[in-house]
Amino acid sequence: MIWYPYAQMKTLDAPVKIARAEGVHLYTEDGHDLIDSVSSWWSVIHGYNHPEINAAIREQLEKFAHVMLGGLTHEPVRRLSDKLAEWLPADLDYCFFSDSGSVAVEVALKMALQFNTNRGSDRDMILALEHAYHGDTFKAMEVGDDEDYHFAFGKNSEKKRGVIHIPTDISALEDAFSCYGERLTCFIIEPLLQGAGGMRMYDVSFIKRARKLCYEYDTLLIFDEVATGFGRTGNRFVADLVLPDILVLGKALTGGYIGHAVTVANKKVWEGFMSDDPTHAFMHGPTFMGNALACCAALKSIELFERDDYISKIRRIEEITRREMAGFADPRIKEVRIMGGCVCIEVYDEKTLCGFKKYAYERGVFSRTFLKYMYAMVPYVINEEELVTILNTMKGWFDNFRG
Ligand SMILES: *Cc1c(COP(=O)(O)O)cnc(C)c1O
């Protein structure tokens, strides 16, 4: 029996069975052709079945699929960490690989905590954002604040003590630092765009102020760019605009091919672990960290991103989205938000979206709404006609039922 995610198995709608996928198209077993508006949880930025990524994986597969990084190493992981060090801004150079975004967030939080213990500090708090989503493992859930995920803890559970959540508001930020600044190990944020918490977008001025305060209070700034990285906000990384101390990447890292993630530290963090004292070493090591097939997929994915000027592709997606959404309104809609390769229609009542998935399916679009959010995060290789089909389907749902 397959246990599906985020679903009551008793009442689960049958998932759509995929036989083949190519570019932005999902082909179902019963012959439907669906344009994918979700990019398999925002990761498949080059589309499916990409010949060059396929070839890169095949080539490595002939050598070996995986060897552990405990006592062993290999070319693909060396090349990927060199590439990331060169490609990412400033001294974000030190790459700790893991197999998923949640684990990479755990690694970042653990790094920040131990960075402080190593220097003899007893800081014991973490600052995070309201509506944050950082993954489904326990500490990631604690720094998270996604309504849908509170069931495990209860909103004010004891277990969350030590994590402060603030809104993306500069005065709340300043208050938090003046109250707790000396006690904070880190401030973790999804910069500019909060994904699973409802595609909430906020201004870079908040992040710039956070950067200054983190310097002032000697607190590490962590960017969880698992969702925003690789162009989703229209920026290559938000870290290109404001520099964090630790950067977490996942999802699109391998072009959506193989689950892999990386926690990238700057020199200051790295040096916090350099010591003659063995207890200052970072004690973590996922079995599949640095998986060779994942590294080769990631290297090819980054090569395509640069070579084919993906930033201009994303700019075009944003332009078309803005043009198509201009003037679109409905009394049931609270807000339409657009940033880079992300568009979200937030409604007042989640019942408004009930049935949309089937409606979209019948019009050749795969969509997955959650709570009050209907959104598209398309593969960047989408063409104009396909994108307009998705947007028309989203708008059409409201027109269709405008009594
Ligand atoms: C998806 C996501 C994660 C978790 O990544 P997984 O690979 O699903 O564990 C963490 N942070 C953000 C911002 C995400 O969007």
CA atoms of 324 and 346, how far apart (whole Å): 17
C-alpha distances in angstroms, 344 versus 144, 164, 193? 20, 27, 11
Please give the number of the atom of ligand 1 that sits closest to the Cα of 105.
10
pLDDT, position 153: 60
Residue 307 burial by CB count (10 A; 0-12/13-18/19+): exposed, middle or buried? Answer: exposed
Nearest to 190 by CA among 144, 251, 141: 144
Q: Residue 356: enclosing H or E segment and its boundaries?
A: helix 356-362
- What is the CB < 6 Å shell around ligand 1? 100-102, 105, 133-135, 190, 195-196, 224, 226-227, 250-251
**Residue 235, φ and ψ in degrees, nearest 5:** -100, 150
Strand partners, 263: 96, 248
Q: From the CA of 150, how far away is ligand 1's center (Å)?
A: 16
Angle at 253 between CA 252 and CA 257, to 5 degrees: 70
CB 247 within 8 A of CB 88: yes
Q: From the CA of 259, how far away is ligand 1's center (Å)?
A: 11
Per-residue DSSP letters for 240-275? GTS--SEEEE-GGGGTTSS--EEEEE-HHHHHTT-S
Domains of the chain are 18-50+311-400 (3.90.1150.10), 52-307 (3.40.640.10)
Residue 27 burial by CB count (10 A; 0-12/13-18/19+): exposed, middle or buried? Answer: middle
Give me 224's structure tokens: 């969880």
Nearest to 139 by CA among 107, 96, 168: 107
Give me 386's structure tokens: 């396909």
Q: Mutate which of 40, 99, 102, 289 to test ligand 1's pocket (most atoms within 8 Å of Cβ)?
A: 102
Q: Please identify which residue in the block is written with the tokens 């630092």.
A: 177
CB 160 within 8 A of CB 195: no
pLDDT, position 170: 98
Task: Spell out the long-range contacts of 391-395 with Cβ–Cβ below 8 A and sequence spacing 24 or more.
Answer: 391/320, 391/321, 391/324, 391/325, 391/343, 392/324, 393/359, 393/360, 393/363, 393/365, 393/367, 394/343, 394/345, 394/367, 395/324, 395/325, 395/328
Residues designated catalytic = 6, 133, 224, 251
Q: From the CA of 184, how far away is ligand 1's center (Å)?
A: 23
Q: From the CA of 238, how far away is ligand 1's center (Å)?
A: 16
Closest residue by CA, ligand 1 atom 11: 134
Nearest to 232 by CA among 337, 315, 326: 315
Predicted confidence pLDDT, tens digits, the chain (403 residues): 999 999 999 999 899 999 999 999 999 999 999 999 999 999 999 999 999 999 999 999 999 999 999 999 999 999 999 999 999 999 999 999 999 999 999 999 999 999 999 999 999 999 999 999 999 999 999 999 976 556 666 665 555 779 999 999 999 999 999 999 999 999 999 999 999 999 999 999 999 999 999 999 999 999 999 999 999 999 999 999 999 999 999 999 999 999 999 999 999 999 999 999 999 999 999 999 999 999 999 999 999 999 999 999 999 999 999 999 999 999 999 999 999 999 999 999 999 999 999 999 999 999 999 999 999 999 999 999 999 999 999 999 998 765 4
Q: pTM for this one?
A: 0.97
pLDDT, position 231: 98
Please give the number of the atom of ligand 1 that sits closest to the Cα of 101.
5
